[in-house]
Amino acid sequence: MSQKTRPKGTPSMARDFRPLPWQAAPWADTRGTLVLAGTAGTGKSSLAYEKIHAFCLRFPGALAIVLRKYAESLKNSVIPQLEQICGEEVAHAPSKSRFEYPNGSVIVYGGMKDDKQRQKLRSVSNLTSGADIALMEEANAFTREDFDELSGRMRGQAAPWCQIILCTNPDAERHWINQTFIRPAASGKLRKVGVYQPTIEDNPTLRPDYIARLDGLTGVMRERLRYGRWVNADGAVYGESWDPSKHVIAPFPIPPDWRRIRATDFGYVNPRVVLWIALDHDGRMFVYRQTYQTKQKASDSGKEIIRLSGSERIAKTICDHDADERAELEACGIRTTAAIKDVSRGIQLVEDRLQNGRLFVFRGCLVKEDQELRKAYKPCSLEEEFEVYQWARRPDGSVSKEEPEKKNDHALDALRYAVMSEDRDRAPPPAAGFVAAFAELNATYEHEGSSRI
C-alpha cells in the first residue's frame, strides 16, 4: 500500500482534548508504567491515544509503539483511532505500519502474536536509541513475557521520561496484571507504577443505552465489565484445573512423526471453532492452531481448514453431528468423524488431562481475532473460554455441578470432542501430578521457553 501523505508543517495540538476529571491524573503521570484498568466505556483508550499523540508533538524525534496482541486486529481498532486523533499534519504510511510527524516523531503499530510479529517490532528503528512511550491496548491479551520484552525496548531519550501504558478491562483474579500491579497498588506496595481504575460513573458522557447494555451482562462478564472487578467465574467448570501460566506454552516445531487431529464445533451466529491438535508419543495433546469465527459458512470453513493445514497429515477430524454441515466439509475433501457427545464424561477427561500435565495450548495460536465478538465482550479463543465456562445454577441460585451452562463453550466443546475421541476407552495414565508431568515434558522436549506462558 502506498504512503498516504498529509500536509506537513509545524504541528500544534491537533485536537482540543479536554480530559474527564478522572483522566487528569494519569494524563500528568510520568511514571514508567501506567495501568488503566477500569470498567468498559470509561475513556481509558481515548486517554492513552491522546497522551501518545501529545507526547509525539511535544518531544521531537520520539518513538511511540502501539500494540494489540494480534496485529490483524489493528485495522478495525488502533489505526482508525490514530487517524482520527493525529489529524492532517501527520502522515500515515501503511506500508511501514507507522504515523510520521513533521518533527521526526513516529508512532509504530504492530502485534506480538508470534515470532514474525515480534521480529517486526524488534526491527523498528528511529532517531532515538529505543522507544519513548508505548501502549499495550487490550493488555489482558498479552503475557508477562510480552510486557517484559517491550520494557526492554524503553530506552528512548527524546523526553525526560519513558512510559508503557497498559489499557485493559479487568480479567481473572490470577491474571498477571492483577497480581503484578492491581493488588500491590491496592495494598500500597507499588509506588513506581501508576494504577487507575475508573468506573462508568466517572464518564458522564456515556449514553443510557450503553450503560443498560453493561447492566444486562451476566455472571463474570458483568462483574468485570460493569463493576471493574478482577474475579474468576463463580462456579467455573475448570476453575481448579486450568492455569494459563502452566497450560499456555510457547510454541515449538512439532516433530513430523507426531499424530495430528482436528476437532470442530459448528456455528454461524455463535462462533464456528476448529482446533488443530498434535499428540506426542506419550499421548500428550498440544493445541497448536485454532480458528474462532462467527458468520462463517461450513463451505468457507472447509476451504480455510484445507489452506491452513497445508501439507500436514491429519489422522481424523472430529465434529458435531449436523449432517448438512458435515456434508459440506466432506465436499471440501475433509473426512469427518462424529463426536462422542457425553458432556459429563468429556469434562472429566479434559480435567484429568489438565491436572496431569497432558494438555497444552500454544501461545498465540489463534489465527485471527473476531472483532465482533471482542466488541460484544465475548470470548474470542479457547483460552478465554476456560476462564468463563460455568456450571449451571439451581433455581435458588446455587451452583449445580451436574450440567454446565450452554454458553461460552464453543472451543471447549471442540476440545472435549477431541479428548473423548482419544481417551474414552483408554485407561487413565498414572496420576503423577502436574509438577512431575511438567518436569518430564521439559526434560523430553528441550525447546527454549516452551514451558513459559
pLDDT at 141 exceeding the cut of 50:
yes
pLDDT band at 15 (very low <50, low <70, confident <90, very high): low
Per-residue pLDDT tens over the stretch 75-94: 888 999 999 999 888 999 99
When mean pLDDT is compared across 95-99, 316-320, 391-395, 424-428, the lowest value belongs to 424-428
When mean pLDDT is compared across 13-22, 35-44, 338-347, 360-369, the lowest value belongs to 13-22
Asked if the 25-227 domain carries CATH number 3.40.50.300, the reply is: yes
What mean pLDDT value characterizes the chain?
88
- What's the pLDDT at 288? 98
* CB atoms near residue 443 (< 10 Å): 8
**272-278: average pLDDT:** 98
**65-71: average pLDDT:** 94
- What's the pLDDT at 374? 86
Strand partners, 67: 110, 136
CATH code given to domain 244-427: 3.30.420.280
Burial class (CB in 10 A: 0-12, 13-18, 19+), 127: middle
Per domain, the residue ranges of the chain are 25-227, 244-427
**148-155: average pLDDT:** 93
pLDDT band at 312 (very low <50, low <70, confident <90, very high): very high
Percent of the chain past pLDDT 90, that is, above it, reads 69
Set of cell numbers at residue 219: 455472571
- What's the pLDDT at 304? 97
Which residue in 97, 16, 21, 11 sits closest to 56, CA to CA?
11
| Distance between CA atoms of residues 315 and 279, nearest Å | 11
Per-residue pLDDT tens over the stretch 400-412: 677 898 889 999 9
Per-residue pLDDT tens over the stretch 154-193: 999 999 999 999 999 999 888 999 999 998 988 787 889 9
Per-residue pLDDT tens over the stretch 370-384: 989 988 888 999 999
pLDDT at 128 exceeding the cut of 90:
no
Percent of the chain past pLDDT 70, that is, above it, reads 89
Assessment of whether the complete model's pTM goes beyond 0.85: no
pLDDT band at 437 (very low <50, low <70, confident <90, very high): low
Per-residue pLDDT tens over the stretch 189-233: 788 999 999 999 999 999 999 999 999 988 888 999 999 999 887
- What's the pLDDT at 10? 29
Which residue in 243, 301, 309, 241 sits closest to 278, CA to CA?
309
Which residue in 200, 75, 49, 248 sits closest to 136, CA to CA?
49
